[in-house]
Structure 1
Amino acid sequence: MTQGEDGGHAAPDSAAGERLTSTLIDGIELIAHEIANVSSSDVRPHHLAEVLERARHAVDAGAAGVVLTHGTDTLEESAFLLNRVWDREAPLVVTGAMRPASAPGADGPANLQDAARTAASPSARGAGVLVVFDGHVHLADQVSKVSSRSVAAFASTPSGPLAIVDGAELRLLQPLPRRAVVLPDAPLGRLPRVPTLMAGLDDDFDLLDHLPAELLSGLVIAGVGMGHVSPAAMPRLRGLLADGVPVVVATRIPSGGTSTHHYAYPGSEVDLLEAGALMAGHLPPAKARLLLQVLLADGASGPRIRESFETYAS
């Protein structure tokens, strides 16, 4: 993004690719391919399908790694979705900027430099998709945007960043974990319809009365507390589950995740589990939705969907 001459509103900049290819980083050769010059709120699954195709081709042709520049609004979601299908040892690194390229103190150049260093680092091989921001390297499955304004906009829960970029070096802060739920053949171009509903005080999800089960491939609930809903919502959720619609319950709380055993009142996690719902563990609602979508796109059945979400159990 760049701002106009008056320093006002920021908008996508057609010169972004030219700036990328002219950047010199520790002798690393950068080759730029523009996929979509859009805001991140306008990124679609077919864009990410092209990212995947180009990234695989680049690595198979000898590239040490791949950097994807992406707006920050949905960056964590694109990283998480790509991590479900990225099946190469070379890292796929996602980065962006909080400040426009024309703004004083623009953070984009430093983030790009750190991302390229990470993509070229042998220490990052086998880590899957990574997010590099403000000198920190985050695992795609754990990273979240935690500020709408700060240049330190991303953080990882529950284990913190994977590494820091220290000059030309990548310093690991923890061992590389085993990657979860890799579905290399899942189609990304068009994902099944899975809405997200947020639970709240006295919300009985009456909206579901206007969404017939046959129009839903699945449903994600952003529950309260450890993954709870109003008791008044339970009949509607039980009806969907009886019709074979998978229901996943996450929590709208930023940390701590969902539970499976703490509470057993109507609408609690125990009640939801007994009804057949799945708990999202430490996945936030947006990532739980994407995981359910890509599993359904891959033709996963109930047991495989359950097993996949159990990987993220809190």
Structure 2
Amino acid sequence: MTSTSRAPGASTAPPSATRPSATQPPAPSAVTLLTLGGTIFMTQGADGGHAAPDADAGERLASTLIDGVELTAHEIANVSSSDVRPRHLAEVLQRARQAVDGGADGVVLTHGTDTLEESAFFLNRYWDREAPLVLTGAMRPASALGADGPANLHDAVRTASNPSARGAGVLVVFDAHVHLADQVTKASSRSVSAFASAPSGPLALVDGAELRLLQALPERVARLSAVAPSAHLPSVPTLMAGLDDDFELLDHLPSGSVTGLVIAGVGMGHVSPAAMPRLRRLLEAGVPVVVATRIASGGTSTHHYAYPGSEVDLLDAGAIMAGLLPPAKARLLLQGLLAEEAPAEAIRAEFSAYAS
């Protein structure tokens, strides 16, 4: 289908001003569907396993009809989420901006669920339009009994076309729940209700054609530049702290091989005392070290503990605490800042927005 043309940046009049007469049907909403593949566009073998990308499944889903919405589909790729690259996301941003500037009310992106939360967070660093950019996917392949893809796509399109979602930035819609990109995480590797939001819970519920807000839209954090990196992101490994792990691996890294480091610390963001000299060497060499926590909720602290390897010790050494950001999102934020050659004080300021 072809989307209806609308002036870029046109405002949405209140419902009372646009209510159609009995003889005039409401104008259809226009939503652009961009596809990166994922389980939502996969089919299984005869034994119910071995799901793999299927172009025919994607074509059928992309042709879904939703009452009152003109849906225009464009395939960017049909890959698993583990194969999504910066170039894919840079193209998503380019096409999504073009669609909105050309009159679309919103944009939906299909994506594999394994790294969906990371792509949503990354895109939200650069998305600079009022119209929503909504990610969705599926936990069950298109050929599976009870496939959840069609319902998720329906709900994502309804969200993208709803005026209440304007200004919310990048959203994730799954199992009738609408999540903010900066708060959503994949909470189950198997359940169709795979995503959750912390600390505030879902932003809204999709109820048929309606979007029921559960909370006010939060103020959006500062964006990075309008141009997302399309090549490989700067090298930022993640190390997980744990029992009897002193990060000996850092002793064997060639000089200059990493531009930043993220630690998935224990508790409120702690490491072993024996790891501290290694982290101090990196920090003294100008390599930013961001400390998140491997714990699912609560985030890192800045003041609760002051023993060797605690958050206070790490801060004194020059590390940055990730606050409420989990390690994967902390890594992406640091990579985006390093790609822009942000100075140390700017990096610290960006992470302070997620302080807990």
Is TM-score (shorter-chain normalized) higher than 0.5?
Answer: yes
Does the Cα contact within 8 Å between 1:250 and 1:257 map onto a contact in 2? yes
Q: Deviation per CA, 1:125-157: give whole Å up to 9, x if none.
A: 000000000000000000000000000000000
SS at match of 2:72: coil
2:294 is aligned with 1:252: yes
- Runs of 4+ more than 3 Å apart: none
From 231, 239, 245, the equivalent of 2:281 is: 239
2:273 is aligned with 1:207: no
2:148 is aligned with 1:107: yes
Identity %: 80
SS at match of 1:254: coil
Alignment correspondent of 1:281? 323
Name the CA distance, whole Å, in 2 between partners of 1:309 and 1:91: 24
Deviates more, 1:183-192 or 1:87-96: 183-192
Alignment correspondent of 1:306? 348
Does the Cα contact within 8 Å between 2:61 and 2:150 map onto a contact in 1? no
Does the Cα contact within 8 Å between 2:239 and 2:263 map onto a contact in 1? yes
Q: Deviation per CA, 1:233-289: give whole Å up to 9, x if none.
A: 000100000000000000000001000000000000000000000000010000000
Deviation at 1:213, TM superposition (A): 4.1
Does the Cα contact within 8 Å between 2:89 and 2:123 map onto a contact in 1? yes
Instruction: Supply the AA of the counterpart residue of 1:150.
Output: S
Deviation at 1:21, TM superposition (A): 3.5
From 43, 55, 73, the equivalent of 1:32 is: 73
2:204 is aligned with 1:163: yes
2:238 is aligned with 1:196: yes
Name the CA distance, whole Å, in 2 between partners of 1:18 and 1:214: 46
SS at match of 1:192: coil
Name the CA distance, whole Å, in 2 between partners of 1:8 and 1:279: 42
Q: Provide structure 2 residue ranges, at least 5 long, that are not aligned to the other structure.
A: 1-41
Does the Cα contact within 8 Å between 2:128 and 2:226 map onto a contact in 1? no
SS at match of 2:275: helix
Name the CA distance, whole Å, in 1 between partners of 2:135 and 2:228: 20
Larger radius of gyration: 2
Deviation at 1:210, TM superposition (A): 1.7
Name the CA distance, whole Å, in 2 between partners of 1:155 and 1:237: 32
Name the CA distance, whole Å, in 1 between partners of 2:196 and 2:236: 26
TM-score, normalised on structure 1? 0.98
Deviates more, 1:47-56 or 1:15-24: 15-24
Instruction: Give me the CA root mean square deviation.
Output: 1.0
Deviation at 1:16, TM superposition (A): 3.8
Q: Provide structure 1 residue ranges, at least 5 long, that are not aligned to the other structure.
A: none
Deviation at 1:186, TM superposition (A): 4.2
Name the CA distance, whole Å, in 1 between partners of 2:337 and 2:255: 18
